[in-house]
């Protein structure tokens, strides 16, 4: 899972083992350049805490954790301006769809291969998408051998449709 601890929340994805990919600080920093410190951010998969929430809060941003709220099932969401998270990759379509439904700006850290897919393509064409491609692969495991590239898939955050950092 991305920044959230789904096991802690009692939820499981389609591929729980591969979904356990917590967001390292190095993945968050490039996006922070485009974020406004006066806004309130919501990590909708964080549980009580996450590296994403901790990194943002320690850098002067206000980022709220999700606690026990299930973003995909609960109508409840704290008051926030922007959704930012690293969702379980096996549930990426559901998270993208739900983020668009909120009408809020969002940033989702997803595999670069998420650009492909009929359902995602339809959503991206309908609502728009901005990509912040990271110039190096992020090591989610700490083993020093990342297997895939990731990018921030954003809506109403970046000044251009495709950017590299």
pLDDT tens by residue, 105-156: 999 999 999 999 999 999 999 999 999 999 999 888 888 878 899 999 999 9
pLDDT tens by residue, 14-68: 445 555 567 889 999 999 999 999 999 999 999 888 999 999 999 999 999 999 8
- Nearest by Cα to 2 from 42, 43, 41: 43
Say if residues 101 and 132 touch (Cβ distance below 8 Å): no
Q: What is the pTM of this model?
A: 0.87
First to last CA, the chain: 23
Look at the domain 6-164 and name its fold. Rossmann fold (3.40.50)
Residue with tokens 């449709």: 161
Residue with tokens 């990759």: 89
Whole-angstrom CA distances from 49 to 9, 33, 90 are 12, 22, 21
Gap between the Cα atoms of 89 and 99, Å rounded: 15
Q: How many CB atoms lie within 10 A of CB 13?
A: 20
């Amino acid at each position: 899972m991305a920044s959230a601890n789904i096991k802690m929340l009692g939820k499981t994805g389609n591929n729980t083992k591969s979904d356990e990919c917590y967001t390292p600080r190095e993945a968050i920093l490039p996006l922070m350049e485009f974020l406004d410190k006066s806004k309130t951010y919501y990590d909708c998969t964080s549980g009580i805490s996450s590296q994403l929430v901790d990194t943002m809060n320690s850098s002067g941003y206000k980022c709220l954790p999700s606690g026990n709220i299930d973003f995909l099932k609960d109508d409840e969401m704290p008051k926030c301006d922007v959704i930012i998270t690293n969702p379980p990759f096996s549930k990426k379509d559901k998270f993208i769809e739900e983020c668009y439904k909120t009408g809020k700006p969002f940033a989702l850290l997803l595999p670069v291969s998420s650009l492909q897919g009929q359902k995602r393509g339809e959503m991206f064409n309908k609502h728009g998408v901005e990509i912040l491609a990271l110039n190096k692969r992020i090591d989610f495991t700490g083993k020093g051998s990342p297997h895939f590239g990731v990018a921030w898939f954003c809506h109403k955050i970046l000044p251009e449709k495709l950017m590299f950092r």
